[in-house]
């Protein structure tokens, strides 16, 4: 009762003492807890070179990947930028090659200095360390943003934008659609932000592509004009294409039947064509000179084309007998219908160069080719291989085929 009475008698003084204690506790909490001030702590001072402040002010936080590790002590001007002095806690270990970025908590500001370490081992930043400007980055300033936004806004056609807004306002769900468009735009921007390097690379590549398209724009215009003419011709021939497509399956089926009927002899035919193609390849210069001459006037195609003129076919007949070569081969009577295979080596034995000037002996040949005469030691009476026969081949023995012709074998 004495203590209770003593407290009741001095309640004003005790209340003042309690308020004073609460004030002291609040000040201590504010200094050491909120403001994180510790007079007994010796901080490490690190100088960070920046191109610009980016809104950073003295007294703002210094973080290591978002975790507070100190405060910005001061910001000083340098020759080509600014220097932010960061006071770090003495027990903080930050690698010397860490990247530093000025970040913001919100669009309204609240910038802070954020260290981003790429490893956990040393060496670490110490008192007096400096971070080069090449390892720092700052956010886009408001002035730069407004300048770029001004160029973007100038490209917007207000009349068309007003028409879009009017259409959205007319519909009963116009506001909801506008909100969906804005939400989609925000989602697109956030997605592009997550892949910012790829987006920048895409824009740079697109600039090259669009520049190339701009350079070839006249050619594209001419191509589109020509393509319009081609498609116009295709449209005029629509009936013919439809007829072709209608008759195409029957024609292809007939072609398949021809290939199937001649399949036994097709392999040997293709083998012979291989030999023909090899010979033709070796004589490409001669064929080019024959069709498109470079060392003489006129060509075989021009001569053949000149024969068809004035509504008729024109030709010249020479009454003078020309020289003919005797190939020194046996001559079969034309009345004997045995259809023998031709001789392989039919070369003119007359070496006089004034005869057969355009003969096979004087044809252009590739280097090392010696086919102007028969091979050494070849049989001059050798004939070609027998003609391949198939199930549908009509045999031509002596005096003609056997009649009636037997039916073709059935089955595969």
pLDDT-based confidence at 111, cuts 50/70/90? confident
Q: What is the pLDDT of residue 402?
A: 66
The DSSP result for 262-300, as a single string, is: THHHHHHHHHHHHHHHHHHHHTHHHHHHHHS-SSSS--H
Q: Which residue has the higher pLDDT, 119 or 381?
A: 381
Q: What is the pLDDT of residue 400?
A: 63
pLDDT of 411 strictly over 60: no
Supply 138's token pair.
Answer: 């700052």
* 196 SS3 class: helix
Domain ranges of the chain: 2-33, 41-144, 165-201
Q: What is the pLDDT of residue 35?
A: 60
pLDDT of 1 strictly over 60: no
Q: What is the pLDDT of residue 171?
A: 66
How confident is the prediction for the chain on average, in pLDDT?
Answer: 80
Q: What is the pLDDT of residues 24-40, one digit of tens each?
A: 887 777 766 666 666 65
Q: What is the pLDDT of residues 53-64, one digit of tens each?
A: 888 888 888 888
Q: What is the pLDDT of residues 122-135, one digit of tens each?
A: 788 888 888 888 88
pLDDT of 412 strictly over 60: no
Q: What is the pLDDT of residue 403?
A: 67
3-state helix, strand, coil in the chain (%, to 5): 45, 15, 40
Residue in the structure block whose two tokens are 């925000």: 186
pLDDT-based confidence at 78, cuts 50/70/90? confident
Task: Report the pLDDT averaged over residues 267-278.
Answer: 83
Q: What is the pLDDT of residues 148-184, one digit of tens each?
A: 888 788 888 888 888 877 777 766 666 677 778 888 8
Task: Report the pLDDT averaged over residues 297-306.
Answer: 76
Q: What is the pLDDT of residue 331?
A: 84
Q: What is the pLDDT of residue 152?
A: 80
Q: What is the pLDDT of residue 41?
A: 62
Give the span between the Cα atoms of 398 and 8, in whole angstroms.
153
From 117-131, 242-256, 349-363, the region with the lowest mean pLDDT: 349-363
Q: Which residue has the higher pLDDT, 198 or 11?
A: 198
Give the span between the Cα atoms of 22 and 404, in whole angstroms.
131
What is the number of other CB atoms lying within 10 angstroms of the CB of residue 163? 11
* First-last CA distance in the chain: 127
> What are the distances in angstroms from CA 323 to CA 11, 253, 316?
152, 50, 18
């Amino acid at each position: 009762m004495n203590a209770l009475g003593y407290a009741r008698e001095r309640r004003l003084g005790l209340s003042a003492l309690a308020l004073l204690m609460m004030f002291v506790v609040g000040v201590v909490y504010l200094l050491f807890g909120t403001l994180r001030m510790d007079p007994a702590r010796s901080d490490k001072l690190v100088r960070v070179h920046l191109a610009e402040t980016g809104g950073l002010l003295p007294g703002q936080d210094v973080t290591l990947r978002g975790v507070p590790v100190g405060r910005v002590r001061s910001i000083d001007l340098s020759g080509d930028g600014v220097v932010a002095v960061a006071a770090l806690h003495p027990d903080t270990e930050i690698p010397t090659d860490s990247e530093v970025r000025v970040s913001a908590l919100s669009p309204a500001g609240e910038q802070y200095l954020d260290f981003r370490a790429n490893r956990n081992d040393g060496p670490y930043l110490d008192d007096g360390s400096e971070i080069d400007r090449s390892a720092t980055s700052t956010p886009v300033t408001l002035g730069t943003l407004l300048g770029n936004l001004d160029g973007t806004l100038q490209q917007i056609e207000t009349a068309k934008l007003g028409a879009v807004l009017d259409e959205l306002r007319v519909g009963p769900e116009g506001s909801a659609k506008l909100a969906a468009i804005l939400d989609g735009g925000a989602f697109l921007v956030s997605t592009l932000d997550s892949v910012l390097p790829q987006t920048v690379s895409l824009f740079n590549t697109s600039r090259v592509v669009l520049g190339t398209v701009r350079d070839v724009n006249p050619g594209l215009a001419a191509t589109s004009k020509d393509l319009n003419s081609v498609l116009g011709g295709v449209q005029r021939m629509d009936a013919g294409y439809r007829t072709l497509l209608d008759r195409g399956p029957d024609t292809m089926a007939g072609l398949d039947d021809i290939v199937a009927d001649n399949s036994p002899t097709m392999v040997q035919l293709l083998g012979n064509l291989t030999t023909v193609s090899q010979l033709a390849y070796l004589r490409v210069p001669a064929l080019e000179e024959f069709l498109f001459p470079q060392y003489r006037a006129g060509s075989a195609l021009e001569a053949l084309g000149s024969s068809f003129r004035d509504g008729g076919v024109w030709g010249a007949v020479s009454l003078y007998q020309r020289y003919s070569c005797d190939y020194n081969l046996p001559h079969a009577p034309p009345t004997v219908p045995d259809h023998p295979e031709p001789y392989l080596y039919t070369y003119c034995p007359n070496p006089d160069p004034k005869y057969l000037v355009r003969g096979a002996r004087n044809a252009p040949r590739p280097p090392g080719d010696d086919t102007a005469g028969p091979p050494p030691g070849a049989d001059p009476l050798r004939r070609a291989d027998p003609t391949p026969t198939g199930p549908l081949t009509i045999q031509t023995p002596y005096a003609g085929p056997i009649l009636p012709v037997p039916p073709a074998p059935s089955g595969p």
